[in-house]
Amino acid sequence: MISPTSFAYVADLLRRETAMLCEPGKEYLVEARLLPLARAAGTPDVDSYVARLSTDLAERARAVDALTINETSWFRDLAPYQAFTDAMLPPLLESRKHVKHLEIWSAACSSGQEAYSLTMLLKEHLPPGWTARIHATDVSTTMLERVKAGRYSQVEMNRGMPAQRLVTWFTRVGNEWEVSPELRSMVTTQHLNLAAPFPPMPVFDIVFLRNVLIYFDMDTKRDILRRVSTRISPDGFLLLGSSETTLDLDDAWTREAAGRVWMHRPRTAARPTLATRPPAAPAAATTVAPPAFTALSQTGA
Amino acid sequence: MHALIIDDSRTMRSILRRIVTELGFETTEAGNGQEALDHLESGLTPDICLIDWNMPLMDGYTFVTRVRADERWRNVTLMMVTTESEHGQIVRALAAGAHEYVIKPFTPDAIIEKMELLGLVAQEVPA
Amino acid sequence: MTVTMEPSLGDVHAVVEEVWSSFLGAEEPILPLPTPMPPGGWSAAITVSGGWDAQVTVQLTDPGAVHVTSTMLMCGEDDCTDEDLRDALGELVNMVGGNIKSLMAGAAVLSLPLVGHGDISPGSHLVEVCRLDLTWRGEPVVVTVHTPPPPAVA
Ligand SMILES: C[S@@+](CC[C@H](N)C(=O)[O-])C[C@H]1O[C@@H](n2cnc3c(N)ncnc32)[C@H](O)[C@@H]1O
C-alpha cells in the first residue's frame, strides 16, 4: 500500500492543480488509480512512481488525470435537462428574441456528455434562425481532447443515451460512436481551472456547474460561486449537481424550483418575473431557507 | 412491477435478474422469443421485456414485431439488450417497435438509467 | 477499392476490455501481457457470416474459465458445473464476437456460440488474422479471429 509520505505528496499535488480534496482514508483509491500508471511507466511500485512525479512533468499530468473523478453520463439525472427545456428555454427564447442566440457554459464538462446532451435538446427546441453555443471547460486537457474528438465507447453510449437520439446524432467509427459534425460545431472548449481566476469569457445565459463543487472545501466553493455569478446574465440560470447547493454558501443567489431540481439565479433587484413556471414548482418560487433546510429532497417524486 | 427477461444465456438472465430485482421488479424468464410469447399468451402482463436479439427458435427482433402486431400487449415496454450494435440494427429494432436499446456489454447503471428514461423506475431522490 | 478483411488489433482489444470491465470486475483488469497457454482448457467460439466471414474464439485455462463463470453467475467457484461454464463462456464469446462483427462493414449474422473443453479447431480453411494474448487474474486469455484466406491475387 502507498506510504503516508507518497500519499501526502499526491494529495498536495491534486489540491494545488485542481483544488480537489484527497483526504486520509483515500489511500486505497489512490493506490488503485496509480498502480496501472506505475506499471506502464516501468516502476516497481506506487511509491517509486510517486517519487518520479517530482521531476517528470508529463507523468505528473497523467497522474492528476488518473486521480480526477470524471464520472459522467448522458442526460445525467434527467431532471436538470427537463428543467432546461421546460423552465429555462421558454423565458430565454422570449427575452433573447432580438439576438436569437444563447450562450451556455458547461463548466467541468468531463468528456462532454453534458455539453452534447444540451446540443441535442437545443436542436430539438430552438426555433428556426436561432443559434447557440455550449462552452465546455475543464481542468483536464485529456478530457477537453475527448470533447473535441466527440467519440464515445459503447459502454459510455449505454449510459443514459436514448436510442432514438443515438441513431439520429451518432455514427459508428470502429469500436466507438462519433457525434455528428453539426453538434460538434455548437461546442467550443477551453482549459479552465475553476479554482483560479477565470480567463476572459462571455456572459452566459445558462451555466451547468454540476458534480464538481462536491470535491472542494467550503472556501473554494464560495469563491467559485461568487466568480460564477459575475459570468452569468441577470436573468440567467445556474444548475448544480443534485447533491450541491448554493444555500449555505452565498446569498447572492435565489432559487426557483423546476420539477425536481432547483434553478439558481443571481439575486438582482430588477428581474422580470417568469412568465412560465413549471407546474410542480412550490408556491414560493424564491426561497431564503434556514440553514438546516436540505435542498432538493422536498420537490417532486 | 414485472419484467420478462428473454435471453438464451442463463448467465445473462441472472445478471439482468439481479439488476431489476434490486429495482423492485418481479421477474419471469424465457430462453427465446417463442417461450416469451407463450408467457404472454398465457396471461403474463409484464411492464417491460428485456430482449436479446440472437436466440434459437425465435429471435428478439421477431418477438418485437409479434408483440407490436397484437393490441393486447400495446402497453408493454420493449427494450433490446443485445450485442447487435450496428447503427442499422438499432434503427431496425426501433422501427419494429422497440422503445429502448442497450448494447452488451453494459454496466448495471446503464440498465437502471434506461429504466428511468422509460419512466419505469423513479429516480433516486437526493438526500 | 480495398475491403478490410480484418478488424484492427486495437479495436479488438478495446472490445475485450469493455466486456471484461463491465462484467468481470474493474478491480482486476485484463492485462495486455502474454502468459503461456497450457494445452487443454476451455474454448468458446462463434462465427460471423454474411458481409464478413470469420470465427472469433476465446480460450481460457480451467481455472480462468471457473473465475469467469463464478464472477458472472455470482456463485462459488466450487459450485460451478460444466453446464454453468458452457453457458457463461458462451455469453462471453457472444459479446466479444458480436461487437467484433459490428466493427466490420456489411450486414452479417452471428451464430449461436459453441463451447467446448479442449481446442475447438477452426475450420482448416481459415487463417488467423488477429490474436490477442492477455492475462486475467494470473491466467492466460487468448482471443483470436480467423477468416477465410484472401482470394489469390492475379
Ligand atoms: C464528476 S465530473 C462531472 C462532469 C459533469 N459536469 C457531470 O455532471 O456529469 C467532474 C469534472 O470536474 C473536473 N474538475 C475537477 N477539478 C476541477 C477544477 N478545479 N476546475 C475545473 N474542472 C475541474 C474534472 O476534471 C472532471 O472532469
Domains identified in chain B and CATH numbers: 2-100 (3.40.50.2300)
Distance of alpha carbon C85 from alpha carbon C68, whole angstroms: 8
| pLDDT(C26) > 70 | no
Q: What is the pLDDT of residue A14?
A: 92
For chain C, what is the domain count?
A: 1
Q: What is the DSSP string of chain A?
A: ---HHHHHHHHHHHHHHH-----TT-HHHHHHHHHHHHHHTT-SSHHHHHHHHTT-HHHHHHHHHHHS-----TTTTSHHHHHIIIIIHHHHHHHTTTT-EEEEEEES-TTSHHHHHHHHHHHHHSPTT-EEEEEEEES-HHHHHHHHHTEEEHHHHHTT--HHHHHHHEEEETTEEEE-HHHHTTEEEEE--TTSPPPS---EEEEEE-SSGGGS-HHHHHHHHHHHHTTEEEEEEEEE-TT--STTT-TTEEEEEETTEEEEEE--S--PPPS---TT--S-SS----TTPPSSTTS--
Distance between Cα A18 and ligand 1 center (Å)? 9
Which pLDDT tens digit goes with each residue over A112-169? 999 999 999 999 999 999 999 999 999 999 999 999 999 999 999 999 999 999 999 9
Is residue C79, in this structure, part of any structural domain at all?
yes
Tell me what the mean pLDDT of segment C123-142 comes to. Answer: 91
Is residue C29, in this structure, part of any structural domain at all?
no
By percentage, how much of chain A surpasses pLDDT 90? 66
Q: What is the pLDDT of residue B126?
A: 47
* CB interface of C with B, residues 11-30, below 8 Å: 18-19, 22-23
Is residue C124, in this structure, part of any structural domain at all?
yes
Is residue C1, in this structure, part of any structural domain at all?
no
Tell me what the mean pLDDT of segment A18-32 comes to. Answer: 88
By percentage, how much of chain C surpasses pLDDT 70? 91
- Count contacts between A and B (CB, < 8 Å): 66
- Name the phi and psi angles at A55, rounded to 5: -115, -20
Q: What is the pLDDT of residue A295?
A: 32
Domains, chain A, ranges and CATH? Answer: 4-67 (1.10.155), 79-266 (3.40.50.150)
Per the prediction, chain C carries an average pLDDT of: 89
Of the pLDDT bands very low, low, confident and very high (cuts 50, 70, 90), residue A294 is very low
Contact yes or no for A175 and C27 at CB 8 A: no
- Cα–Cα distance list, B54 to B8, B9, C94 (Å): 8, 10, 9
Q: What is the pLDDT of residue A298?
A: 32
Per the prediction, chain A carries an average pLDDT of: 87
Give residue for cell 422536498. Answer: A298
Element (H, E) at B39: helix B33-41
Q: What is the pLDDT of residue A249?
A: 61
C4-18, C21-35, C72-86: which has the highest mean pLDDT? C72-86
Q: What is the pLDDT of residue C150?
A: 76
Is residue C121, in this structure, part of any structural domain at all?
yes
Instruction: Find the domain containing C102 and state its range.
Output: 9-18+42-147
Tell me what the mean pLDDT of segment A100-119 comes to. Answer: 98
Distance between Cα A38 and ligand 1 center (Å)? 24
Provide the residue count of chain A. Answer: 301
Which pLDDT tens digit goes with each residue over A43-53? 989 999 999 99
Q: Choosing among B8, B9, B32, which should be mutated to test the C contact, i.e. which has the most C CBs within 10 A? A: B9
Cell of A37: 500508471
By percentage, how much of chain A surpasses pLDDT 70? 88
Is residue C56, in this structure, part of any structural domain at all?
yes
Tell me what the mean pLDDT of segment C63-85 comes to. Answer: 94
Is residue C27, in this structure, part of any structural domain at all?
no
B56: DSSP letter: S
Which pLDDT tens digit goes with each residue over C106-121? 788 999 999 999 766 7
Could you tell me how far CA A241 lies from the centroid of its own chain?
8
Tell me what the mean pLDDT of segment A243-257 comes to. Answer: 79
Q: Does C91 touch chain B if contact means CB atoms closer than 8 Å?
A: yes
Distance of alpha carbon A109 from alpha carbon A147, whole angstroms: 8
Q: Could you tell me if C89 and C69 are in contact, meaning their C-beta atoms sit under 8 angstroms apart? A: yes
Tell me what the mean pLDDT of segment A197-209 comes to. Answer: 96
Nearest-CA distance A154 → chain C (Å): 8
Contact yes or no for B103 and A157 at CB 8 A: yes
Q: What is the pLDDT of residue C27?
A: 66
Segments of chain B scoring below 50 in pLDDT: 126-127
| pLDDT(A282) > 50 | no
Q: What is the pLDDT of residue A5?
A: 93
- Count contacts between B and C (CB, < 8 Å): 58
Is residue C73, in this structure, part of any structural domain at all?
yes
β-strand partners of A6: none
Distance between Cα B97 and ligand 1 center (Å)? 38
Provide the whole-model pTM. 0.88
Give residue for cell 400495446. Answer: B74
Residues of B in contact with A78 (CB under 8 A): 116-117, 123
CATH of the domain at C13: 3.40.1550.10
Mutate to test the pocket of ligand 1, among A20, A76, A135, A138 (most ligand atoms within 8 A of CB): A138
| pLDDT(C75) > 50 | yes
